Each structure stands twice: as C-alpha cells, then as structure tokens.
Amino acid sequence: MHISQHADQRMNQRGISRRLVEFTLRHGRVEGDRHVLDRSESRRIIEALTEELRLAKRILDKGGVAVVQGDHDTVITTYNVDVPMRGRGRRDVAPSTDTAGSGQPSPSQEVRHV
C-alpha cells in the first residue's frame, strides 16, 4: 500500500497508524471512494473476533482438531490431534533417522505400536 505525503501528514496529525488504515481498508464498508469503519461496525467486529478467540481457545485446550473433507465440501470425519490413534497417518510418513547417518531410528524417534 502506498501512502501519499498528504495522507501521511494527516495520519500523523490525527494519530492514525498504518495498521489502523490497513484494518479499516480490510473491514470497513465502501462508500464511494472511501472505506468507513464506524463504532457500531467496530463493535460487531469485536464480537465476531471474541467468538473466534473463544473457539481457538477450545481447540487449543483439546490439543488441536483435524477435519477430513471429501468431495463437495462433505466432512468425512473429525478427530482431536493430540489423541494417539493406532496407525493414523503412519502410512504416509517415512521413518526418521538419527543425525549420525546410521540409517537406524534414534531411541527418541522409535515408533511404538500400541
């Protein structure tokens, strides 16, 4: 984004940072040649972001969530990422080797089958 000298002067005079300008361009409504983000729209954004934050915290508490999606946006299955499941994802991952180059997995990299 290029900011004209005039806009830079006005931003400095009015205490409007570049980040506020970028945020307004992203979230403000378009009225002709300007983007406007008023108090009521700011409140709506805060409510939406608060809900997004709440959901992100729930996912963090669960250790992550995975969603497998098929054709036509059909959700096939979901699972918690941190919960070990037998064989899940093992087919696609080549075994890691130690850094010494012996070709054998190091004790910390050995796969345990439960």
Using one digit for the tens of pLDDT, what is the confidence trace for 35-63? 999 999 999 999 999 999 999 999 999 99
Residue 36 falls inside a structural domain = yes
Residue 102 falls inside a structural domain = no
Residue 57 falls inside a structural domain = yes
* Distance, CA of 23 to chain centre: 17
Residue 107 falls inside a structural domain = no
**Can you give the pLDDT at residue 83?**
73
Number of domains in the chain: 1
CB atoms within 10 A of CB 21: 16
Q: Which of 9-13, 28-32, 93-97 has the lowest mean pLDDT?
A: 93-97
Please give the residue that has the higher pLDDT: either 47 or 90. 47
What's the domain range around 16?
Answer: 5-80
Residue 31 falls inside a structural domain = yes
pLDDT at residue 113 is higher than 50: no
Residue 111 falls inside a structural domain = no
Above pLDDT 70, what percent of the chain? 73
Residue 108 falls inside a structural domain = no
